[in-house]
Amino acid sequence: MTIELGLCRQAFTQTKRPDQLPSTAAEDLLEIIMRRYERASTLITSNRPVDEWGKLLGDTAAVSAMLDRLLHHAHVLKCGPRSWRTKLQSDLQS
């Protein structure tokens, strides 16, 4: 697991700008998912819809393969468009 986290950290911290992912981001993430597939639990959170992952990571084929493995035994929790942070703040103010 330490190696996988190191690969992920290395892949996503070598960008020149914080809003730009490296060109190998999809392949690096796919490699991590494939190593963990049916061996360990994996939790991924995102503020982007799954439909946008191919465009965001720049490799729709790698994203499709990654999603196949992720969703094979998955439990998907969709929280909705409203942020829990803003919901809790508005509830506290009420």
**pLDDT by residue for the chain (94 residues), tens digit each?**
555 555 565 555 555 555 677 888 899 999 999 999 999 988 888 888 889 999 988 899 999 999 999 999 988 888 777 776 777 777 777 6
Per DSSP, the three-state class of 2 is helix
**Yes or no: domain 2-93 corresponds to CATH 3.40.50.12370:** no
Distance CA 40, CA 35 (A): 9
pLDDT at 48: 84
pTM: 0.64
Q: How distant, in Å, are the alpha carbons of 12, 64, 67, 83 from that of 30?
A: 13, 9, 9, 28
Instruction: For the beta carbon of residue 48, count every other beta carbon within 10 angstroms.
Output: 9
pLDDT at 60: 93
16: DSSP letter: S
Count of residues making up the chain: 94
